[in-house]
Amino acid sequence: MAVDLETASSSKARTYTGYTLAALFLLFMLLDAVMKFTHAAPVIAANTQLEIPPWMTPALGVIVLVCLALYAIPATAVLGAVLFTGYLGGAIAVHARVGNPFFSHTLFPLYVALFLWGAIWFRDQTLRDLFPIVKSPQASAPSKGMLYTGYTVTVLAALFVLFSAVMKFIYTLPAGAPPPGFPMEHMHTLAYLEFVLVALYLFPRTAFFGTVFLTGYLGGATAINLRSGEPIGASLIPVIVGVALWAGYWLRSAEVRSLLPARRR
């Protein structure tokens, strides 16, 4: 009986902590979204410093509101968290591109992401089993067809990211060509980061960790492409790769299927 009471108390503490983190995150992002529809001087100054086109600001506000709605609904909270991860990854990339202070500005979206995922982690046992260390699935195993399809999609998506990393080592800017969307001196760093994230993604015990971080990284790539004026089709290639990464993982992991696209109890 004492063990049961202790377990129940621990469960309540986790639940309250999760809801507290979620409330703080939702309030912060709601304020962020509302500010994007205003012409307040701090908003204009920040967008100018980050070199974000004026037309993009309301669009970002709409994206935040959509993600907030998904995150606030229990059945789609994880989907909202995944989409928010890409959005926050874009914020990190934009800050890094203009050389803002590392810990106070560039990594600030990462601090926000701790509230984002922490809120679900405290409330959801399945996510605690997956993140940060993947444990053996307790749900039903996938069929052979689903498993083979998952591994195929996983390999193709991982190869695309690896190809991107290799290209960053061999690419040279042609004479007279406009500068790329991200400073050339950081290209090798990005390539090493891609190698590390793919390794985390492919290793079963860190697969969820790698998938989440790749989502943020690809969100950053999308943000840089859009900010640089790339065509919509080319800008959304990282989004397609991100969907493939999650699809491959979803097909081969019973626990991920229980989280996405909707959590079921």
**Tokens 């803002």 label which residue?**
100
Would residue 141 count as lying in a domain?
Answer: yes
**Tokens 């053996």 label which residue?**
136
Would residue 131 count as lying in a domain?
Answer: yes
Q: What is the pLDDT of residues 34-75, one digit of tens each?
A: 999 998 898 899 989 998 988 899 999 999 999 999 999 999
Would residue 102 count as lying in a domain?
Answer: yes
| Mean pLDDT value across residues 15-32 | 96
pLDDT value at position 28? 97
Q: How confident is the model at residue 169 (pLDDT cuts 50, 70, 90)?
A: very high
3 pLDDT exceeds 50? no
* Backbone φ/ψ region at 51: left (φ over 0), alpha (ψ -120 to 50), beta: left
180 pLDDT exceeds 80? no
Would residue 69 count as lying in a domain?
Answer: yes
Mean pLDDT of the chain: 89
Number of domains in the chain: 1
Provide, rounded to the nearest whole percent, the portion of the chain with pLDDT above 90.
65
Would residue 265 count as lying in a domain?
Answer: no
Q: What is the pLDDT of residues 74-121, one digit of tens each?
A: 999 999 999 999 999 999 999 999 999 999 999 999 999 999 999 999
pLDDT value at position 133? 53
Q: How confident is the model at residue 6 (pLDDT cuts 50, 70, 90)?
A: very low
Record the pTM. 0.88
Would residue 264 count as lying in a domain?
Answer: no
Would residue 123 count as lying in a domain?
Answer: yes
Q: How confident is the model at residue 172 (pLDDT cuts 50, 70, 90)?
A: confident
Mapped onto helix, strand or coil, the DSSP state of residue 220 is helix
Would residue 226 count as lying in a domain?
Answer: yes
Structural domain span for residue 71: 2-259
Do 88 and 113 meet the contact criterion of CB atoms below 8 Å apart? Answer: yes
Q: How confident is the model at residue 184 (pLDDT cuts 50, 70, 90)?
A: confident
Q: How confident is the model at residue 159 (pLDDT cuts 50, 70, 90)?
A: very high
Q: How confident is the model at residue 139 (pLDDT cuts 50, 70, 90)?
A: low
